Structure 1
């Protein structure tokens, strides 16, 4: 019951009391409005993930897991073959919503594996097992974030200036977060840090979400434009960069929100350690290098119109709007997982991480 109580305390994403819907905070409305959405249909789940109403690699995976459990309850058949066929259709549809974050496909595949492993069970029994698996995925995320936060905290010290990009706190996970986790854990222990949060264009996750979470936690946070990162580094105000990840290749190349690779290049120039923090579920050992990571391209209007009263560019002007970029492994000081801190050469340390 302790596990279920802790899951109930999670505010940003949870199963409804009747267990037939998923309740999320609409992150597109923050920080000005805190609005909860109730998702029940496959179209609602797809739209919520695509439109970043739920975002952050771990949170997307948790939402998808709960979503598949809820959708499984709507499949009107007692025949295994028909049930699995429809379940697979739902899974593939949701998987197409955002191709870069590996946690989405990881969670969906894990839920489908429950169905595949229980061909001789009744549909009712399979649905009960899916509920249990979804709970496990969220509980494991909480435990992973705790461990990542503990490891990450060993890499920084009180009074350090920390630069972060995008949002990697509790809104992106279930508790603590990944790259922000060490800061929240440190705050609990009475440690103080000075955080500089990139605004993270074009969707401003750093401005809307990271600065909001840090300020609420009582952590000293200063919001900066993305193109100010080099200035605060040059001024000597940054002692470490902490960023999250949506997919890590087998060689250590890491995909994260667009702009991350630029931060890594600057950090390398100024001799500042650059740490990537994320659960092992974001490591894709079947992806050899960052060149093999499919980068999501989003609507050009996010650059020209989002958050503006009127368009900031002519309608005729073309826009290139990738959601992510890939930071080369040579720019990464260490990768922090829930199992251990990985050091270069990453192809070797990642391989050893998964050795039985």
Structure 2
């Protein structure tokens, strides 16, 4: 008996590229292995945050607060914005999906740097929009003049990732403000600041301040990186009230669990202790960058919790050498490898690998 044809998804769904997550390390006899492939915070949860999450888990038989009132209030106080200017979702990546869903019609163009966050082309394709990828510079930086030139009458959204994942450089506040001032006001400018807490540079960006100047600016941030809640998936956007309302309108009901909600509130309350850990990671980043550069590597400016090796066709060989050393990195075939800042022992192995793997071949 011949089966009837299966239903067919929309044409744009077939064009969605697969997201490639950082793979976990394979256990090795006699060798501690480390996962440096997902830009995770290597520190365990703070005891107070863990206790709050454990207590919240006792109510897993109940639906979470769909309004997430406690976290909205806490974020509004922390950043001096109105609750009406906020939108929550399951990680900042979900907010990007929601924004493209809310603002893009099929065929509309979305401009972003490339290489940048791997989820961007996926989210654009899922919205049936069109990606306009503008190559980063040789230093891994956004080419802002080229991005401005890429804006057309079909452009609905421009996305800026700062610090840029996976290459590492961050945009200055001056450059951001000058860029946004030249973008047509009907075009949404997303400033993706998933790694903002790790930035240490003069004239560092503050996209929330820019949101107050420009009604088309949307800031996305996350609790996954600096706050160490990657497993709970909580992100937030700051935007003009009507834009934030549109993001909330297309959000998944009950998307943020009760446990995640309470852990995020507790993390904000414990921010001083958490940011001490961020300072330790920034210090480790400086040590790693110095060690790698001593080996002769020309690294891009690292402002996130990771470093970027521009390896080209040698990327797979580098990833294999890292595996052999008991560290798992995130390779991008034919381009390079991103390596997260992890535990000191893991970072020592990255430096040693950089010295063994000839940068001049």
Q: TM-score, normalised by structure 1?
A: 0.32
Scaled by the length of structure 2, the TM-score of the pair is 0.32
